[in-house]
Amino acid sequence: MYNGLMRVQNKYFVFAALTLVNLLFIILVIIYTYKQAMIVIEWEMASGFDAAGFYIYRSEQYDGPYILLNTGIMPAGEDPFASTRYRYEDKDVFPGNTYHYIVEEVNTQGATFRNDPLTAICTLDYVSAFLIWAIFMVFSGSIAFLALRSARTAVENNGSV
């Protein structure tokens, strides 16, 4: 009887350990998904004849205050007569928050021109969210299956759980 009871207790310990591992895994996946959140700002200039580069500013309020995001000037394209596409990735964002951006152009004489604020809402990638849900369901189902199988084996061997 003692050996049977010991096996049942060990199986409950395994079940508890698997549950803890499952929860830790889900927390890590959620943290990883939130760390992948970003807002991409893209713009194009037909020609940048007099452009030296750009500064990017962000605020959580439309009216500011705006903080400078890039530490140095983002250089303008090499060919001043060609159309150039620009891209800035803001990775210091949190899903669900709304952000406002200003792109400031600096010309070769040092004069600046600021565009009107652009508004963006940071969202999670739905594919990632679905994968998190699917992984959670698979692990939860596995743990439930192991727990039921352990309980059934214990009852068959000992007559009780």
CATH code where residue 106 lies: 2.60.40.10
Q: H-type helices in 1-112, by residue range? A: 2-35
Both 51 and 99 in one domain: the answer is: yes
Both 114 and 132 in one domain: the answer is: no
- Domain that includes residue 66, residue range: 39-121
Peptide bond between residue 95 and the one before it cis (omega within 30 degrees of 0): no
Both 76 and 115 in one domain: the answer is: yes
Both 28 and 71 in one domain: the answer is: no
Strands 67-68 and 112-114: unpaired
Nearest 5°: phi and psi at 40?
-105, 125
Q: How many structural domains does the chain have?
A: 2
**Residue 27 vs residues 22, 32, 33, 66, 125: alpha-carbon distances, Å:** 9, 9, 10, 33, 17
- Local confidence pLDDT in tens for the 161 residues of the chain: 445 444 555 666 666 776 777 777 778 777 777 777 889 999 888 766 788 899 999 999 999 899 999 999 999 888 777 888 999 999 999 888 999 999 999 998 999 999 999 999 887 766 766 777 777 777 766 766 776 677 667 667 765 55
Q: Is the pTM of this model over 0.75?
A: no
The residue among 13, 138, 4, 117 whose CA lies nearest residue 57 is 117
Both 100 and 137 in one domain: the answer is: no
